[in-house]
Structure 1
Amino acid sequence: MTEQQRYRVVAKHPGFELRRYPTHLVAEMRVTGGLVEAGNEAFQPLAAYISGANRVRRKVGMTAPVVQEPAEPQKIAMTSPVVQEEGDRPDCWLVRFVLPAELTPGTAPEPEDDRIVIRELPAQLAAAVRFSGRWTETAFGQRATALGRAVTAAGLQPTGAIRYARFDPPWKPWFLRRNEVVLPVVE
């Protein structure tokens, strides 16, 4: 069974859960393209890394989700927290595999592919909404807009870029897929 990224539900609000994510390790790749194309392009090199394409030829357990977010800081309008203006480099994404919880920066294998970076992400408070269905820009965009509005209505302040999480392999029927939109918020 695939290990899932850990989090603790802090509160439930209309339209989202408020979660606390612990510090965790990711294998990350920067890719240019549309949301779906960037995710598809990064998947193979990241999958190769966990399958043993690393300096010690060690397989790393697959975890979920695969996470994707804009690579450049995005400006967010004060009145609509999810209306984002394109930054200096539009369509640039960070695509991440969350690594197994037992790995540390010192024990994670070094990638052979120099486009892949191993990073430790700090603990974070975030609002999240879960949904099933296809991985389309429209599907993620609609949920991102609704999440931003719900977060604002709850009196919370976004503190980072929206990220998109895919939990299932592409061969899983679309109507059974688990997806999430996650928005970091101020503590």
Structure 2
Amino acid sequence: MLARALNGLALAAAAAVASACTVVGVREGTEEPGFTVLGLVNGTEIRRYGPRLAAEVTVVTPDEVAARNAGFRPLARYIFGANEGSARIAMTIPVAQAPAQGERIAMTAPVAQKVAPGGGWTIRFFMPSAYTRETLPKPKDPEVRIVALPEETVAVRRFRGAPGAAEVAAEKARLIEALATGPWAPAGEPEAWFYDPPWTIPALRRNEVVVRVTPREPSQPPA
């Protein structure tokens, strides 16, 4: 019991250290996935991301903010040692949140292209680029899944402030509106990316809404 208590304190201390420099919205030295900026469309940035690994969980609840908090906890435990080998995995940014895309047939089943009944959210941590699928520690929690994400082109709209459900929904609508004209068309459901913890000064927080895009055919009408 003492060992478990000490381990819990160690995990809490590690989490505090990881976020110590984020109170004013600055994550000094924290890795984020690399990308190439392809251009701007109506003030929206078009980025190209390469293949990435991520750890994710699905939280079944219609409450967007509660799902974000609930999903963060098992992912944080995973990177702070709840994995085979008890390895510490460096925290990265952003934390991603997207509508769950399918019913879960089993804990490790892939998802289909249909929103889960009753509402649900996928919360995702991107893994440090130094890892491969073979070298990344396996989670002890069966709810935590490791997924390989393919390279993709996305449209990104950045915003600041506290990202409540209404604020995120409004920014997603603005993102889709910005893509109504131009060379890129939305090709999926928008998601939200968060770069700072809740106690960061709102005016300094970095949040983004993101949607996968494909080149718009010359004859394709605007969205």
What is the Cα deviation at residue 88 of structure 1? 4.7
Give the counterpart letter for 2:64 in structure 1.
Answer: L
Which residue in the other structure is 1:7 paired with? 35
1:23 equivalent to 2:55? Answer no
Which residue in the other structure is 1:42 paired with? 71
Which residue in the other structure is 1:109 paired with? 137
Partner-residue secondary structure (3-state), 2:46: strand
Measure, in 2, the Cα distance between the counterparts of 1:51 and 1:98.
Answer: 14
Alignment of 1:36-115 (within 5 A): 36-72=65-101, 87-115=115-143
Give me the TM-score of the superposition, normalised by structure 2. Answer: 0.75
* Deviation string, structure 1 residues 56-110 (Cα, Å, up to 9, x no partner): 100000000000101126xxxxxxxxxxxx9452421110001101111111100
What's the % identity of the aligned pairs?
36
Give the counterpart letter for 1:130 in structure 2.
Answer: R
Which residue in the other structure is 2:153 paired with? 125
Higher relative contact order (CA 8 A, sep 6+): 1
Q: State the aligned residue count.
A: 175
Measure, in 1, the Cα distance between the counterparts of 2:201 and 2:77.
Answer: 24
* Deviation string, structure 1 residues 31-79 (Cα, Å, up to 9, x no partner): 1122111110011110010001101100000000000101126xxxxxx
Give the counterpart letter for 1:56 in structure 2.
Answer: G
Measure, in 1, the Cα distance between the counterparts of 2:200 and 2:185.
Answer: 35
Give the counterpart letter for 2:199 in structure 1.
Answer: W
C-alpha contact 1:35 1:91 (8 A) present in aligned 2? no
C-alpha contact 1:18 1:127 (8 A) present in aligned 2? yes
Measure, in 1, the Cα distance between the counterparts of 2:117 and 2:184.
Answer: 28
Which residue in the other structure is 1:183 paired with? 211
What is the Cα deviation at residue 13 of structure 1? 1.4
Unpaired runs of at least 5, structure 2: 1-28, 103-113, 216-223
1:143 to 161, 165, 171: 171
Greater gyration radius: 2
Tell me which protein shows more helix as a share of its residues: 2
Give the counterpart letter for 1:66 in structure 2.
Answer: V
Q: Which moved more, 1:110-119 or 1:11-20?
A: 11-20
What is the Cα deviation at residue 156 of structure 1? 2.3
Moved over 4 A (4+): none
* Deviation string, structure 1 residues 142-180 (Cα, Å, up to 9, x no partner): 110011011122242211121100001222112211000
Tell me which protein shows more strand as a share of its residues: 1
